[in-house]
Structure 1
């Protein structure tokens, strides 16, 4: 089988009080559009890519880091972080990965259009789905594929480029199983976690790992200006308080959930650190408390 040429990834920077790794990050969850002649990557520069896959060819290379500002964007700075979907995370008790997978797969979806694909997590029985802004930044109508293979058209409800979060609404659905959100403030380094999504378009992929660090500040940008999801070269999104995990996260995972072993969502997978085109065990998730708060505000603003 002939491999699809890989498209260079956007550069980004990890900034916190720890030693700074080589410049460059990726936002992993999109598969590239029809292949273009590959460009030479900068020698010795690592890349941070978004977890979405800009795509035409599933199974192709990693995607751009995408942080476009939507016309529907809403910046959320404060909102009571009250849970509407479950109890706080209880990471001191252990469940099994197989149980988390069985319960988690039905609440995870694939989100795609002609530009690419990513993942999302169901937050209401009538089709509200939380994902990354860079997954849906192109706007328009998207196709949501559920775990059972059924499909529905979806439109963007609201986006917040500042936190790289968005909510979409699948049309004509009801009675969906919804995710339970845990309290991300209770997450500890060393906790076991499970990521579910569509890396490289392979829907329903389950990977495991641990929380390897907390409170990371990660900045990612598209420094090429060539992504259809990017408003302009240099557009940057900065995550604060990100959860770092070594669970395998690759292009196509963007917007998908990071579960604890109680099956609660404790983060939304958004970016990876990579020296080439894939994960090297440094993934970053937006904490569930932030994600939940922003999702509630986006939905409220749309009504």
Structure 2
């Protein structure tokens, strides 16, 4: 089993596990982190199997090449293309193509640098005041709010902006950054409460393995999956089969209308591999409340 970097990130535990923590190896695999200035040697990850699954969180990726992937398998009905957009290739649902075009300008790569290394993940524009929502475990490499790390974001136009950590909530794995407002950073619409449905098509957008602007498609697999994502209390999460990989953490999970329904946080893997079609996102209702609270506290 090849390693993917130094483990970092919140805990995921299957709801089938007992509430007490085992005395042996860690019960989860936190997110892999890209370390700056160190040899890129593979490292083995600690492992515990639960019903044949090893569950890890995702945040870190390396590289800056752009990637773009669209999925298949959703209804072909949906909002019309923006003026000048090319028709979808045969077999690609036009609603998802249109959603991807609307969402990408509001998604950023998040990069953290410290004297000890760094990490990278994804985020999305929350409002027109320059607030960016991402995962706590992405920015925790910089020491969280008030930490000594350097945090920056790179927009879809390639422009890099220095970011300030406004606040971070480890239990919900949500953090808010602030950058200088820019016309190139377009806030994403958030889905209304209780409108997400099991089986509806979704897109996971972010920078897996540093491939900025990557879009993968799937469906909502479950709405109320009980998991632990960093804290000691079980939380409900949106489960999806859209491919989520290291570097996607903090990026949006969006519906076919281009509305954010969740913040991508964790995946399940077999034998330390990549995505196997079981990913988890913080529901947007909770993420919105946490982000608003962090912004208000400033």
Shorter-chain TM-score: which interval?
0.7 to 0.9
Name which of structure 1's ranges 122-131 and 159-168 shifts more when overlaid on structure 2: 122-131
| Paired position in structure 2 for 1:105 | 104
Residues 12 and 57 of structure 2 are in contact (CA less than 8 Å); yes or no, is this contact kept in structure 1? Answer: no
Give the whole-Å Cα distance in 1 for the aligned partners of 2:283 and 2:229. Answer: 17
Deviations 1:261-281 (A, max 9, x none): 111001000000111231110
**Cα pair distance change 1:42/1:267, threshold 3 Å:** closer
| Paired position in structure 2 for 1:120 | 123
**Cα pair distance change 1:187/1:288, threshold 3 Å:** same
**Cα pair distance change 1:44/1:32, threshold 3 Å:** farther
Deviation at residue 175 of structure 1 after TM alignment: 6.6
> Alignment partner for residue 206 of structure 2, among 190, 197, 206?
197
CA RMSD of aligned residues (A): 2.8
Deviations 1:54-92 (A, max 9, x none): x5x439xxxxxxxxxxxxxxxxxxxxxxxxxxxxxxx9x
Residues 28 and 47 of structure 2 are in contact (CA less than 8 Å); yes or no, is this contact kept in structure 1? Answer: no
Correspondence 1:171 to 2:180: yes
Deviation at residue 172 of structure 1 after TM alignment: 6.1
| Paired position in structure 2 for 1:6 | 4
Correspondence 1:257 to 2:248: no
Deviations 1:78-134 (A, max 9, x none): xxxxxxxxxxxxx9x745111011000000000002311000010122311011111
> Alignment partner for residue 58 of structure 2, among 31, 51, 54?
51
Deviation at residue 183 of structure 1 after TM alignment: 2.2
Correspondence 1:182 to 2:191: yes
**Cα pair distance change 1:13/1:43, threshold 3 Å:** closer
| Paired position in structure 2 for 1:281 | 277
**Cα pair distance change 1:5/1:13, threshold 3 Å:** closer
**Cα pair distance change 1:237/1:29, threshold 3 Å:** farther
> Alignment partner for residue 297 of structure 1, among 281, 293, 298?
293
Instruction: Give unmatched runs, 5+ long, in structure 2.
Output: 18-25, 65-74, 80-94, 144-148
> Alignment partner for residue 39 of structure 1, among 32, 40, 44?
44
Residues 205 and 252 of structure 2 are in contact (CA less than 8 Å); yes or no, is this contact kept in structure 1? Answer: yes
SS in 1 for 2:58: strand
| Paired position in structure 2 for 1:68 | none
Residues 217 and 238 of structure 1 are in contact (CA less than 8 Å); yes or no, is this contact kept in structure 2? Answer: no
**Cα pair distance change 1:127/1:40, threshold 3 Å:** closer
Deviation at residue 26 of structure 1 after TM alignment: 4.7
**Cα pair distance change 1:25/1:213, threshold 3 Å:** farther
Deviation at residue 241 of structure 1 after TM alignment: 1.5
Residues 110 and 122 of structure 2 are in contact (CA less than 8 Å); yes or no, is this contact kept in structure 1? Answer: yes
Residues 267 and 278 of structure 2 are in contact (CA less than 8 Å); yes or no, is this contact kept in structure 1? Answer: yes
**Cα pair distance change 1:257/1:43, threshold 3 Å:** closer
Residues 169 and 175 of structure 2 are in contact (CA less than 8 Å); yes or no, is this contact kept in structure 1? Answer: yes
Residues 26 and 274 of structure 1 are in contact (CA less than 8 Å); yes or no, is this contact kept in structure 2? Answer: no
Residues 29 and 254 of structure 1 are in contact (CA less than 8 Å); yes or no, is this contact kept in structure 2? Answer: no
**Cα pair distance change 1:301/1:273, threshold 3 Å:** same
Q: Pick 1 or 2: higher relative contact order, CA cutoff 8 A, min separation 6.
A: 1
Alignment of 1:139-154 (within 5 A): 139=143, 140-154=149-163
Residues 47 and 54 of structure 2 are in contact (CA less than 8 Å); yes or no, is this contact kept in structure 1? Answer: no
Instruction: Give unmatched runs, 5+ long, in structure 1.
Output: 18-22, 60-90, 222-235
Residues 215 and 243 of structure 1 are in contact (CA less than 8 Å); yes or no, is this contact kept in structure 2? Answer: yes
**TM-score normalised by the chain length of structure 1:** 0.73
